[in-house]
Structure 1
């Protein structure tokens, strides 16, 4: 049996040493490049040339083939048909369109799942998924991996040296591989054995003495039943880690196969949905870089104002940019919504200009490319009513298609004005790291302690305040270099090893400015509470004791007082006892601990540590604390209204308006404006050239 995986499997966030210089793939002076998904297998072949010519005429520079085409590539076991795809690639090249070639592992052919039904995912209740959708096969299935690699080998042999292929996308929006089948069970046990080496080490890590949960052999361990009340939290946590590992490892296997045949100018990536509790994002070490997909209007996010749902929540693209960029040598967006979708809860029309806004927002964060799903709107299948660049008649551009065309024309203007990669000095000075680990989020979310706690919403309170400052933000890992960030914010970082606490201490002691929020440092790196007073290992660092924490009822919120302002809170509050010399910036207003400290500020060596005890209801406390801190540190900040995003890249400034009001942007006199005007309407974009 093939080796299941490499020993030493914890996430490393390192990419392939084989990665080429990104300049070879995406030259700086091109700034960004734009493409569109096309499915030759969906349309009559006599329409392909018309469609690809239209794509090129609109300004697209590449297209995207074959991600769901396994049944067409291998219509029978071992019999491959590339002739139709060769014709499509040739037509694309004739129209000067490069091609992203995709592996089709999200959609296995029916002959495979009928011959080997064990490749299908098994649900917790023992039932299996069936043919006819996507992502229904298990990455843990040994047979599925074997058949996938056979198909990918043939695909790689056929197109690996083809200069018309710019790069490879593996799978499509891969998610955590949750499977209760026999192969998944076997691989889970092997994963645990590789991680812990001995059953005694596992018992200690999982705390199995509790409730007589002790194991004597790895073969006794089953995948935990997620619906069964009271299952060992650490077993569940490790199972979710394993599920994420299976996804990352499956992509690595694919990349190794492609790498055997790919030319040096072909890159390898995959496209993730930005789920911030997903450990597999960035964990596949054989990829050259990663990309994400983003849909903004589908009924879930109200945005700002009564019609904000047509523009979308402004942090969704911003946070995805800032989350992906530090994890990868470069990043792109593989799917950007071109108009209405069909799969949301309410599939509204985007506001005119919104698609154009999203394109510029993706670019503003540093993306090297943007692709849209899809060029032609489908007329059959599950995604009927999903907009494309071209409508259902196959010839007429949609409103979103015209906004893509507008963006691509504007990008040609920027290319002519490109000179360097400069950004303003004040922008650099407020660069902030936000320490974040998806494993920590998963651990908190499976043991919240209060129904009103929301980990991502808590992180967003700090993140949105920073974006309102006009700060460039990087979501960073504990393995990264802290020294380049004047300020690091650490929101709700519950699991902290002594090594991480030491690294944070040294960062502040050497001159960095650290901000920690509630729920930080309560547990060690294994997720166990300290055998010490509550959160005791971080007391010296924050200059205060955490006496206890409180959780309020939703109908009985309380307040915190800071600088003559009151801030409501409900979900979590750490009650602080400052040491001598530590400043108390805020105090609890009511209840039996009225007057006790809620926010502390502590000088540590050459730097500072601020601790924010409560999770405020609206984020206003978090914003007030950060404002006070940055002012104290003499870090210049802006005060942009909610929904205004301003970023700089490649010698250009970009301002974006997700709010429901016109906003007047103040630019230095004589600034050369390339796109838009200083009066920024809703969904408006302003681009200017730095002097």
Structure 2
């Protein structure tokens, strides 16, 4: 047992309940023997109270473990200022408990009541052009409005005071799909100035960080600084970078203040999370440190041309769930999925039906990543409001299960059967764990590169995905990590396009490699300081000693004139970014450019350093096949066994179980040993099929 867990137990025995996130053990909130729990959103305030008993009983009969209440119910919880009504919610909680359903309680900060907005219109987000959002939607208030922050906490304090000691409540969800808010209101403006003052201390330090000597932008006082007009051409990019940081920290601190308000009123057994949308450039995903753990929302079919084959959009992209799993799980070691699509949705450009079996496939894919719970939005398809055509577990009649509802019910039965096979001593295969790889990611790099792309051919997330998709094709478990992690845990670490860094990070990378780690760096890495400025040195110089090469210059090609990189006897097209390298004498050249005035110059280099190695990939290919080939060669050198999975097949292991899901448009055969004992499915896996086994 970890020391932190022992400390938590002792504090609980002493009656200490205001335990901070750093002292809490997220793993303790869930019983490993349960494997995962399944839940559903239910909005009692949307339906006649006479129907609650029927609905909650059917939720239980379908196999769900918990329900999710009060996400958007502020108007019902506080119908007028300072007047609270929890009686209706008490009745709903009681009916849920009667039907053996636990409850996730929510704060309603995404939807303030009309009386609050009309009395205090400044709580509404002000756009860059000066117009305000208005009541009648959701996520229209600003976390940068001082009154809104303070008043929200009053409501949360009352809610937590009422339900914080209620053992029927297993946890809390904050807000709804929170993300940075870009508010131009008066409070936001002053808070931004205060944030800058705290960050830089002196106006001179800010001027240096922002390079305000350029174009006569020099400030003499923090009061002269405005929130940047992002739409204004040529606006100071360093100022925009700081505004992104500020907006991220505003939402993070708003969430953290909610956590503290709940925690001072609640049992320590009640966990606290929120449901992020996996937009990987949203920095608050890893900055809301008071949360017990992080959860996400994921929709797979909404009319985009994702997936394998002509109708692949009915299943979605094979790694869309996987990437979210691998991004959120490493933050706290625990994660859940708060919204997983139950069927057809209403908010895409085109909203097709998912393929039969798709919902069950997605549920197992979430499970494969190690989740502790999965929840769906929503139980009943609405009959009024903005989401009329959004499927639920049952249709608009409130009784008839939808195809997705039946697939959720089947999943709950499958999990109950799987629990009987659970072995606490079971381990994942050694070959699987040997493939485990870290991807070092910092959202600020994405902000900076997307603002300074230099070419329409560059896409930061697509660049990262070329490495991620290759790893999943290998059957590798992947952890997205940030700089707070212990690098030594990983045999291989990839830092794609890590543009902004400092010399301390380069030193950490060097020590990691010298101690036996294997580091892969890619194009655009090390070009800038943490302030987004170029080094006053040769281009990218801080990484030269690490990679064993210099960067002579970089090139960008027009879309209609791609060139090739020659690597391993194959040619790979590129257009978006290519760095021409000058390797040291002891550094190997793995790939060279073809087709232009620098033909024959190195594009990819490799060197051994201490007990480890550094691979530098100075070029971004068009299709990602080159990136996969580079990793294949590296893993071969390191004697790391890899798979070569067919397109659309995904395999993971957790708790000693192997889980495979098939997004391909044909039946596939699983590359498993004859020792495999199949619990669900078999070695032959059909489209939208699932197989689960033990070895």
TM-score bracket for the superposition, by shorter chain length: over 0.9
Corresponding residue SS for 2:285: coil
Q: Deviations over 1:392-420 (max 9, x none)?
A: 11111100011111111110111000002
Give the whole-Å Cα distance in 2 for the aligned partners of 1:327 and 1:215: 39
Give the whole-Å Cα distance in 1 for the aligned partners of 2:113 and 2:233: 38
Compute the TM-score of the two structures, normalised by the length of structure 1. Answer: 0.97
Task: Map 1:367-446 onto structure 2 (within 5 A).
Answer: 367-420=371-424, 421-446=426-451
Q: Deviations over 1:312-342 (max 9, x none)?
A: 0112111101111111241100000000000
The equivalent position to 2:671 in structure 1, one of 666, 670, 684, is 666
Corresponding residue SS for 2:39: strand
Corresponding residue of 1:154: 158
8 A Cα contact 2:438 2:478, kept in partner: yes
Corresponding residue SS for 1:502: helix
Corresponding residue SS for 1:450: coil
- C-alpha displacement of 1:540: 1.4
Corresponding residue of 1:11: none
Task: Map 1:25-44 onto structure 2 (within 5 A).
Answer: 25-44=29-48
Corresponding residue of 2:270: 266
Q: Deviations over 1:532-565 (max 9, x none)?
A: 1111111111111111100000111111111221
Task: Map 1:114-193 onto structure 2 (within 5 A).
Answer: 114-193=118-197
Give the whole-Å Cα distance in 2 for the aligned partners of 1:622 and 1:246: 37
Give the whole-Å Cα distance in 2 for the aligned partners of 1:499 and 1:24: 35
8 A Cα contact 1:140 1:179, kept in partner: yes
Give the whole-Å Cα distance in 2 for the aligned partners of 1:530 and 1:30: 52
- C-alpha displacement of 1:299: 1.3
Give the whole-Å Cα distance in 1 for the aligned partners of 2:494 and 2:315: 29
Give the whole-Å Cα distance in 1 for the aligned partners of 2:140 and 2:134: 7
Corresponding residue SS for 1:483: helix
- C-alpha displacement of 1:18: 5.9
Residue 541 of structure 2 is aligned to residue 536 of structure 1:
yes
Residue 599 of structure 2 is aligned to residue 594 of structure 1:
yes
8 A Cα contact 1:16 1:285, kept in partner: no
- C-alpha displacement of 1:38: 0.0
Give the whole-Å Cα distance in 2 for the aligned partners of 1:438 and 1:642: 29
Corresponding residue SS for 1:568: strand
Give the whole-Å Cα distance in 2 for the aligned partners of 1:301 and 1:280: 29
Task: Map 1:130-529 onto structure 2 (within 5 A).
Answer: 130-420=134-424, 421-529=426-534
Give the whole-Å Cα distance in 1 for the aligned partners of 2:278 and 2:654: 22
- C-alpha displacement of 1:23: 4.5
Deviates more, 1:325-334 or 1:123-132: 325-334
Aligned-pair Cα RMSD in Å: 1.1
- C-alpha displacement of 1:471: 0.7
| Aligned positions, number | 676
Q: Deviations over 1:333-353 (max 9, x none)?
A: 000000000001111100111
Give the whole-Å Cα distance in 2 for the aligned partners of 1:525 and 1:213: 20
Corresponding residue SS for 2:243: helix
Task: Map 1:527-606 onto structure 2 (within 5 A).
Answer: 527-606=532-611
- C-alpha displacement of 1:16: 4.0
Give the whole-Å Cα distance in 1 for the aligned partners of 2:161 and 2:304: 43
Corresponding residue of 2:12: none
Corresponding residue of 1:7: none
> What are structure 1's unaligned runs of at least 5 residues?
1-14
Give the whole-Å Cα distance in 2 for the aligned partners of 1:16 and 1:444: 35
Give the whole-Å Cα distance in 2 for the aligned partners of 1:594 and 1:286: 53
8 A Cα contact 2:307 2:317, kept in partner: yes
* Residues 46/77 of structure 1: CA separation in 2 closer, same or farther (3 Å cut): same
- C-alpha displacement of 1:17: 3.4
Corresponding residue SS for 1:417: coil
8 A Cα contact 1:339 1:400, kept in partner: yes
Residue 681 of structure 2 is aligned to residue 676 of structure 1:
yes
Corresponding residue SS for 1:515: strand
Corresponding residue SS for 2:634: helix
- C-alpha displacement of 1:24: 3.6
8 A Cα contact 1:376 1:394, kept in partner: yes
Corresponding residue of 1:12: none
Deviates more, 1:469-478 or 1:90-99: 469-478
Give the whole-Å Cα distance in 1 for the aligned partners of 2:63 and 2:77: 29
Residue 34 of structure 2 is aligned to residue 46 of structure 1:
no
* Residues 334/19 of structure 1: CA separation in 2 closer, same or farther (3 Å cut): farther
* Residues 632/132 of structure 1: CA separation in 2 closer, same or farther (3 Å cut): same
Corresponding residue of 1:71: 75
8 A Cα contact 2:27 2:333, kept in partner: no
- C-alpha displacement of 1:375: 0.6
8 A Cα contact 1:509 1:606, kept in partner: yes
- C-alpha displacement of 1:161: 0.7
Give the whole-Å Cα distance in 1 for the aligned partners of 2:50 and 2:331: 43
Compute the TM-score of the two structures, normalised by the length of structure 2. Answer: 0.96
Deviates more, 1:248-257 or 1:657-666: 657-666
Give the whole-Å Cα distance in 2 for the aligned partners of 1:212 and 1:18: 45
Give the whole-Å Cα distance in 1 for the aligned partners of 2:399 and 2:640: 53
* Residues 161/18 of structure 1: CA separation in 2 closer, same or farther (3 Å cut): farther
Give the whole-Å Cα distance in 2 for the aligned partners of 1:329 and 1:428: 16
Give the whole-Å Cα distance in 1 for the aligned partners of 2:664 and 2:624: 18
Q: Deviations over 1:447-496 (max 9, x none)?
A: 11001110000000000000011111111112210001110111111111
Corresponding residue SS for 1:379: coil
8 A Cα contact 2:21 2:291, kept in partner: no
Corresponding residue of 1:10: none
Give the whole-Å Cα distance in 2 for the aligned partners of 1:580 and 1:411: 57
8 A Cα contact 2:26 2:332, kept in partner: no
* Residues 338/449 of structure 1: CA separation in 2 closer, same or farther (3 Å cut): same
- C-alpha displacement of 1:301: 4.1
Q: Deviations over 1:571-607 (max 9, x none)?
A: 0001111110211111111110111111111111111
Corresponding residue SS for 2:487: coil
Q: Deviations over 1:218-274 (max 9, x none)?
A: 111000011111111110110011111110010111111111111121111111001
